[in-house]
Structure 1
Amino acid sequence: MTGKPKLYYFDGRGKMESIRWLFAAAGIEFEEEFLETREQYEKLLQDGDLLFQQVPMVEIDGMKMVQSRAILSYIAGKHNLYGKDLKERALIDMYVEGTTDLMTLIIMYPFSSAEDKEKKRAVIIQKATNRYFPVYEKILKDHGQDFLVGNQFSWADVHLLEAILMVEEKKSDVLSEFPHLQAFKARISNIPTVKTFLEPGSQRKPVPDDKYVKTVKRVLQMSF
């Protein structure tokens, strides 16, 4: 046993990618076991490892944690990425929930039918530019600080950068009307641990492809 956290998920982004991002930002090395067969998934179920019969699952500090939000909160709290008091934690939670809403649309995008994809891409861009990014642009403009909360690097910053990059994959100039977010993206991307994760050869996963979609559907026996 190496003592490194071990991540159980598919060889792709999905709900595990934000967990990979947060570990990487905290400078924590982790191992991964990729689910490729239904049998692997059923063994986790039979062993009682998946409390709610769902992945992601992370083995850490003697626990087998499920539910993405609980896992992320634990990592953020453990590695000083969750603010310095309850008020800052509440702000981080609010901002993270906002980016999660946006990212959920993008996570589900690869599972859309071919005829629906262009429509859903337009919805993602519309919501990013009209509902979500203006909020973070205003926060950064109003307080004039480098980070979203407490002028220190937090989970909220990691999550927002991940969301920005995901939307840019759908529309490369999506930040053209958001100068503070452009500067934020550059700053956070140059934090050493984040910069390393963004480089080729890291455990960051690529844009989901057909192979990833087929694997998820096969393992989870999804019909759509």
Structure 2
Amino acid sequence: MVEIDGMKMVQTRAILSYIAGKHNLYGKDLKERALIDMYVGGTDDLMGFIMRFPFLSAEDKEKECAHIIQKATSRYFPAYEKVLKDHGQAFLVGNRLSWADVHLLEAILMVEEKSSDVLSEFPRLQAFKANISSIPAIKKFLEPGSQRKPVPDDKYVETVRKVLWMY
């Protein structure tokens, strides 16, 4: 739950949509908003594979890591590479930063935690990552000691399992 502007909001998508709209990161019109939603949805699909990774058994992690990298490099990253090529801009939608750009950057960083050279075949995504990461507020957020959540460790996994009664 997030308290913002006198509201108590739940549901991640509603919260992120509200914040994106409030800070002019949700497109200039309905068409751009639909594209942003489409790209965020695709990125969510990739993130879904990654988010369950810490909860796998040790023997399943190696196989799942290979699966994540395979999905990222054969399905998701080629699609975003094509969007950037066809669009001809530095951002996914329009010619300005949107929620979709921030979300894709986070997905790239998550996959890079599994394989640091995962973007080696994607020059436009490499440039995209460099561009988005250099935006002052994002650059500051990505610095060591920032609020970006660290890779889930054993203590995190244990806490989540207890909270969600996963035993």
- Larger helix proportion, structure 1 or 2? 2
Amino acid at match of 1:148: L
**1:135-178 deviations in Å (ceiling 9; x for gaps):** 11011111211100011100000000000010011011000100
Higher relative contact order (CA 8 A, sep 6+): 1
Deviation at 1:220, TM superposition (A): 2.2
Residue 124 (structure 2) aligns with: 180
Q: Identity, % of aligned pairs?
A: 82
2:149 aligned residue (205, 210, 214): 205
The answer as to 2:85 corresponding to 1:141 is: yes
When normalised by structure 2's length, the TM-score is: 0.98
Give the deviation of 1:59 after TM superposition: 1.4
Q: How many residues align?
A: 167
Equivalence map 1:29-68=2 (5 Å): 57-68=1-12
Indicate the structure (1 or 2) with the bigger Cα radius of gyration. 1
Structure 1: gaps spanning 5 or more residues: 1-56
Read off the aligned partner of 2:72 and give its amino acid letter: A
Q: CA RMSD in A?
A: 0.8
For 1:129, the aligned partner's letter is T
Taking the aligned partners of 2:87 and 2:46, their CA distance within structure 1 comes to 23
Question: Mean Cα displacement is larger for which, 201-210 or 87-96?
Answer: 201-210
Return 5+ residue gaps in structure 2 as ranges.
Answer: none
Tell me the amino acid that sits aligned with residue 92 of structure 2: L
Counterpart position of 1:88:
32
- For residue 111 of structure 1, the aligned residue among 45, 55, 58 is 55
Structure 1: 4+ residue segments shifted above 6 A: none
1:126 is paired with a residue of what secondary structure? helix
Q: 1:162 aligns with which of 106, 113, 120?
A: 106
Query: What TM-score results when the alignment is normalised by the length of structure 1?
Result: 0.73
